[in-house]
Amino acid sequence: MHCYDFHVVLQEVPGEISLCFTISGCPLRCKGCHSPFLWKEGSGAKLTNSAYRAILYRYFGFASCVVFMGGEWHKKELIAKLKYAQAQGYKTCLYTGEETIDLEVKKHLTWLKTGRWDYKKGGLDSITTNQLFVEVATNKKLNHLFLKQ
Confidence (pLDDT) at 28? 85
Q: What are phi and psi of 5, to 5 degrees?
A: -160, 165
HSE value, Cβ hemisphere, 13 Å, CA-based, for 25: 17
Judge whether 119 and 130 are in contact, CB under 8 Å: no
| Residues 6+ positions from 109 with CB-CB distance below 8 Å | 82, 92, 93, 94, 101, 136
Q: Tell me the pTM.
A: 0.94
| Fold for the domain defined by 2-146 | TIM Barrel (3.20.20)
What pLDDT does residue 147 have? 93
Ranges of residues in the chain whose predicted pLDDT is under 70: 36
| Residue 13, pLDDT score | 98
d(CA 24, CA 44): 7
Q: What pLDDT is stored for residue 70 in this prediction?
A: 93
Nearest-Å Rg of the Cα atoms of the chain is: 15
Q: What is the pLDDT of residue 145?
A: 95
Predicted local distance difference test score (pLDDT) of residue 39: 76
Angle between the N-to-C axes of helices 49-59 and 75-87, in degrees from 0 to 180, rounded to the nearest 10: 30
Annotated domain spans of the chain? 2-146
Residue 134: its pLDDT value, please?
A: 98
pLDDT tens digits, one per residue of 86-114 = 999 999 999 999 999 999 999 999 999 99
